[in-house]
Structure 1
Amino acid sequence: MLSNHTPMAVTDADLTRAFGTVLDNCPDAIAELKSLCTTLGLQADDLFYKWESYSIQQERAGKSNDTLQPTMGPVQPHGDHLARFRQYINRDLEKQAYANSTVHTPERKGYGLAMGTSGSHKKAGLLNYGLNRGVKGATLGSPGLKEPRTYDRSNVDALIQNLASPRTPKKGQRIDHGLGSMASLPPHLRTPTSKTRGASAIFSPHSYVSPSAPSPQSKRFSERVNRGKLEETFNSQLGVYEGTRPSNLPAVSIKLLPHAELYRFQYMHEKIAARAEALDRVIEWGAEKLRDAYQVEEFGHPGQPSQGPILVVGRVCSDSEAKLNDRSIVLESSRALGGGARTLLDVSQVPEFAFFPGQIVGLEGANTDGCTFTVTKVLTVPAPPMPTTEPSILMACQEKRAGVPVQVMAAAGPFTLDDNLEFETLVDFFDVVQGEKPDVVILQGPFLDHRHPLIAQGDVDLSMDEMFQLYIASHFRQLAKTSPHTKIILVPSPRDLLHPFVSFPQPPLEVITKFQLPNNVMCLPNPAQFRINEVHFAVSNVDVLFHLGAEEISRAVTTTRRMDRLGRLAKHLLDQRSLYPVFPPALHDVNLQCQHLDFLRLPHAPDVLLTSSQLNHFAKKVGNVLCINTGFLTKKQVGGTFAKLSVFPLTTPPTAPSSLQDPSFSAPHNVSDRTRVDIVRV
């Protein structure tokens, strides 16, 4: 180290005594070493110790360097080594100077942190906060305090109390800028806190209060002029029911369909063999449906040469990572029908088609060269049959309603704007619910969206459970008091923080017992297939329409077919008899569990197909199914839309066709013809 006193002059004899015989007959080396001692204020022995350190370092470096000769001798204070030795000492002195400047530089007023002359914060300044673990009574605060507070390291309660409630300084006493005041820290050392809530909220979650000034988006939302705007109406000729609900009208009956009961399961444990087996079963299932629908005796192998036309079946895939196009379509066969091979398709002779990855199709054509299957006709899986009910039972349900339509309101999350967690859109939605008191409210998650900017940044003061209790469950309890007959259905989302299952399909949320929700709340799986009285509903709470639209490739003959794109996307779900037929699924949105694909199956077409998508909202009839896209209740920084359904009762009992004399006749429900749908702006 540098001497603190004026050094004595170093002689040649001193250097020879310290370094030994290596300096014999080396006047240049002695002169250089003497210069170093004079410049740095070192004695001969101190310089020798530094030389020893340098020598050891160089010898270790030489052993690890394969290019050095093994006969190389010890490091000698001659030639290049002296120049390197001077550089070595200079670097060592620079390190010491830097360390001394960070520890001994006087503290700048206003910070409890040592700062250099340039104003840059030094890491060693943290020592000034009493973080020296070698001292039992570590001092918290600035070293400049006359009365520093000390805490025993074993007394954790006292330390937390100091962090949460800094002491008010006495008159004339300098303010303590220790750990108890995070605001005093430089920006790069502060812990991020909420922009709108007090820091003490972390110690008392129930002390949360709304910000005094609304955010810009909240202000624009509260001042919007399109509140309650009717965006779209389906079956407007049915009119709006103006009557009052009779007090003795029974509540509706809601039952989950037997094949749709999904319970907890292990996800992320899917083996490749089991996944492949599940996907192969889907192709075999499609082959069976096509065989029955088109009276096919036998399906051929698309990859084998064939001179005449044959029928093949398989899954549509892409031969590249890019989006599907008419030159990259391949057909994947099942193991039994084609050994699981993929065959390139030529669709140039097909006048119109609509393909997407994962679609099960039948094709007619020929493979003349053994490489490409030329398609001449596309056979689609027929839509599933509509649900039916015996006329007597069906009319009994209508008589119970006494002419009053079944009122259903449906909304999909997110339920709060992007810049806050005040859930304004959900509040306004339940204001409408409280006014109209429908029979059923269907809420699709995410209730607490993990993609919300504040949640993703950790800028929240409440736990997720507390937030659900305060902002969401409170509406359920209030509605149970004012409208006991209203049932609330909760369908989870893969983006929901409340649900441990981030896969699809998902079992129901487990919030009823956990949060002691009222009896009018029901939790159903995602997707959900259930019936309200006689009306069958299917709800899929992933953006399957958007995923289909992003992957689909189509060719249409007429302009009308090209324009009805949304209807065509909804028809894919019915034709494939699946609530998520896309494969591979959207990478960042859906963690598809192939072993549970049966829970996505539609054995019967629903009367009402309810989806939520970022595509444009709509309500339209596809076949005999009423397909509805409610949209999202919140679209980033603005309010979105929700749907109001009025299912009017049948006025006349259904009768069997004259050609069908079957006493066990079951009548279709014809829900799409007797339901009014309003898409409303929140």
Structure 2
Amino acid sequence: MEQELVDEFAANSFVLEDQEVTKQCTSLCASFALKPAELVSYWELFYLNSRLEGGRVLGSQLDYFRQFIQKEQREAFRRKQTDFHFYSQDDVDMLLASETGEDEDNQFPPAKTPTKTLQDMSKSFVTQMDIDDGSMGPKTPGSVNMPSLKSKSRLENGSPATPFSQRSTKLKVQFVLNKDLPDMITDEPTEMASEDDVVRRLRPVEYTNLQVSNVGLKLGTRFMFDRTEEKFNVLEKRIKNYAEILADREGLAVDNQVSVASQERTFVVGMVCCDGEGHLNDKSVLLQGSVEYSSGHRVRLDLNMLERFSLFPGQVIGVDGHNPSGHCLVASRIVDSIPMSVKDDLLESQAPQAKRQVLDDSGPLAVPKASKALSMVIAAGPFTTSDNLAYEPLVELLDFARKKQPNLLVLMGPFVDSEHPQVKQGAVDRTFQEIFVEEVGSRIEEYCEEMGSGARVVLVPSVRDCHHDFVFPQSPFVVPGLKDPEHQITLLGNPGVFSLNELAIGCCTVDVLRHLSSEEASWVPAGTSSDRLGRIASHIIGQRSFYPLYPAPAGVPLDLSRSPEALQLPQQLDVLVTPSDLSPFVKTLSQPVRESQAGLTTLCINPGRLAKGMYGGTFTEMLANPMLNDRKEQWPNNAKVSIIRL
């Protein structure tokens, strides 16, 4: 067991400190009835959430790691309970002991435990959450009822006070990219930046040109009727397109047969697969060739000669190596990203940028001759805390946007979260569509009306939105009665791509980063630092797909028959927004192109979740200076991106 555990950690680029740490990890496997692969998966999540570095498993971290496993297993048990909801001691501790709004489970080391007894805390908790008898259904013995929608007015009036409203730290900046750039980006003299808020509000928000390149699944499209043949065609086309582009842009002679024995060096293209049902590792990697040329044959991939690699199921790669037996391809080099160009020709049916239509009744808008400064606020749901449906975080975010007056406000689902305790219990007295219209739509309408016709809002759905279609990719929202006389609100699909002036932005609300993190098999030389989150995010750009993982994990309603027009990146992106449960971050991703071209750079942003449990989460503010002639040399050095805790 110990040796198997050491090998599993090593396969995932982690090193155990000493023999004592190995014994403690073996004890953890026995205590929680975990296999070595499952324990390493827990460690990867703990490693990312705690922002550890170095790739070493230290004995001083194991106590916190044990607590993390206990928390994850409790959460997994709760998710299985579909008919009731209960609170543990950790929930009570969080409510009464934390006034900062921080997510204590993601801190390392954790905060000290308060000295109150569980009985006192439970009494205080019940007292604080107490509401009128008429607003709740019959009580279940041994459980604590949650406030229904009828308690919304009391929450808005401040009685009783919610944990979110009592948080002490508000709008705290956690991270800034290019922090030397000025906060106020404007073409006016510098002294204008210090104007009073009242005077600033008199200046209307400058109108920006917003064009939609990819709307996701079109309205009215039938979905979840995909056949095996359609899935096969999608995967086959991905492999063939990759081979054609590599042959064209890299000048490589691609051998279409992946399983033919040859003593000479060969270069083949195929899709990464796993030889079993478990997680991918360096011993279980198979390369599947195209059906047209290789009859879909698979060959084992030997990675021992590679200095580093990063692979996951569904990834299309080019392999340079030898296959002397026809059963095992010994790789000496792997090409895992498609060379990019400014104008991508992968989707021939995609119209040029200047000819694309805007989701606006006023018709297409002309691309401005000169770029102007841009400001954006980006946030991802949930937009309300888990103890009520008052949408207090959304109200705070809109107040922040009113003060900052951004050109664009990007709101990404879930808006009516299917994982919310009240929604799961059915303890609501309105339909899900009514909740969305009254709590979200009405507030956005008021924001647009107050900010003027220049302010723009983009809404992106999520598969966790219980008032929308449960399919990925998703069509845009259908909101009957949405008042938008100035055409300020753009309803985007999931995923979606649009441009703001000349800035290309892509959005996807499925947690692809976490899914890739759990399925990735990687190796880096010992003693070499590696940016794991940046490496995972770069796969989206390198594979030209918002969701390159295949097969998708349970819970992702992936409809492969719609992926060619919806999931593929239609162009080079300047900004990629991928909300995730992993720690919020801003990464600069550089992609190789042809030798005659300069490298292209994409800003990958994980804004985090606006609400975490009963407390506030994080969102992102981005300020971009005007682009000059040589835009590739400037971007993203002219952009200031801040991650702010609500």
Q: TM exceeds 0.5?
A: yes
CA RMSD in angstroms, aligned pairs only: 3.1
Whether 2:306 is the aligned partner of 1:346: answer no
- 2:448 aligns to what? 480
Which runs of 4 or more aligned residues in structure 1 lie more than 4 Å from their structure 2 counterparts after TM superposition? 181-188, 192-195, 211-216, 243-246, 258-261, 387-390, 558-561
Change (3 A) 1:208 1:363: closer
Residue 274 to residue 675, structure 1, CA distance change in 2 (3 Å):
same
Secondary structure of 1:645's match? Answer: strand
How many residues are aligned here?
Answer: 469
Letter in 2 for 1:382: I
- Alignment-mate amino acid for residue 370 of structure 1: G
Alignment of 1:94-173 (within 5 A): none
Query: Is the contact between residue 316 and residue 330 of structure 1 (CA under 8 Å) also seen in structure 2?
Result: yes
Equivalents in 1 of 2:257, 2:137: separation in Å? 75
Which of 345, 355, 370 does residue 397 from structure 1 map onto? 370
- Please tell me the residue identity of whatever aligns with 1:358: G
Paired position in structure 1 for 2:278: 322
- How far apart in 2 are the matches of 1:387 and 1:544? 25
Please name the residue that 2:74 is paired with.
none
Distance of 2:481 and 2:566 partners within structure 1: 26
Q: Which residue of 1 aligns with 2:420?
A: 452
Q: Could you tell me which amino acid in structure 1 is paired with residue 267 of structure 2? A: L
Q: Is the 8 A contact 2:215 2:493 kept in 1?
A: no
Match of 1:331 in 2: 287
Q: Which residue of 1 aligns with 2:147?
A: 196
**Cα offset, 1:353, TM superposition:** 0.6
**Displacement, 1:555?**
1.0
**Partner Cα distance (2:326, 2:251) in 1:** 26
**Contact preservation (8 Å) 2:146, 2:387:** no
The structure with more radius of gyration: 1
**2:602 is the alignment partner of 1:625:** yes
TM-score normalised by length of structure 2: 0.67
The offset of 1:248, in angstroms, is 6.6
Going from structure 1 to structure 2, the CA distance change for 1:289 and 1:558 (only over 3 Å counts) comes to farther
Match of 1:596 among 563, 579, 583: 563
CA contact (8 A) 1:446 1:494 kept: yes
One-letter amino acid of the counterpart of residue 456, structure 2 = K
Paired residues of 2:407 and 2:456 also in contact (CA < 8 A): yes
Alignment partner, residue 174 of structure 1? none
Cα 1:381–1:229, aligned 2, differ >3 Å: closer, same or farther?
same
Matches within 5 A, 1:422-571: 422-484=390-452, 485-499=454-468, 501-511=469-479, 513-517=480-484, 519-557=487-525, 559=527, 561-562=529-530, 564-571=531-538
One-letter code of the match for 1:627? C
Distance 1:257 1:246, change over 3 A: farther
1:538 deviates by: 0.8
Q: 2:617 is matched with which residue?
A: 640
* Counterpart code for 2:396: D
Q: Secondary structure at the match of 2:248?
A: helix
User: Secondary structure of the residue that 1:240 maps to in structure 2?
Assistant: coil
Q: 1:240 aligns with which of 149, 168, 183?
A: 183
Change (3 A) 1:591 1:617: same
CA distance in 2, matches of 1:502, 1:251: 34
Deviation, structure 1 residue 628: 0.9
The alpha carbon displacement at 1:194 in A equals 7.0
Aligned residue type for 2:165 = S
Alpha-carbon spacing, 1:494–1:528, altered in 2? closer, same or farther (3 Å): same
251, 260, 268: which is aligned to 1:304? Answer: 260
CA distance in 1, matches of 2:536, 2:268: 24
Say if 1:394 and 1:233 are closer, same or farther in 2 by CA, change over 3 A.
farther
Q: Decide which of 622, 625, 636 is 1:672's aligned counterpart.
A: 636
Q: Distance in 1 between matches of 2:471 and 2:296?
A: 27
Partner secondary structure for residue 219 of structure 1: coil
**Structure 2 SS opposite 1:344:** strand
Give distance in 2, aligned partners of 1:213 and 1:394. 46
User: CA contact under 8 A between 1:293 and 1:382: conserved in structure 2?
Assistant: no
Q: Deviations over 1:44-99 (max 9, x none)?
A: xxxxxxxxxxxxxxxxxxxxxxxxxxxxxxxxxxxxxxxxxxxxxxxxxxxxxxxx
Hey, what's the Cα distance between the residues in 2 that align with 1:301 and 1:516?
Answer: 58
For 1:184 and 1:294, locate their aligned partners in 2 and report how far apart those are by CA, in whole Å.
66
TM-fit CA distance, 1:380? 2.5
Matched letter for residue 269 of structure 1? F
C-alpha contact 1:383 1:577 (8 A) present in aligned 2:
no
1:649 to 626, 629, 637: 626
Higher RCO, 1 vs 2 (CA within 8 Å, ≥6 residues apart): 2
Matched residues in 2 for 1:187 and 1:453: separation? 15
Deviation digits for residues 353-410 of structure 1 (CA, Å, limit 9, x no counterpart): 11011110011122223322221211223342236999xx988333xx4xxx211000
Gap regions ≥5 residues in structure 1:
1-180, 202-206, 655-666
Q: CA deviation at 1:213?
A: 10
CA 1:415/1:559 → structure 2, altered by over 3 Å: closer, same or farther? farther
Q: Equivalents in 1 of 2:340, 2:419: separation in Å?
A: 36
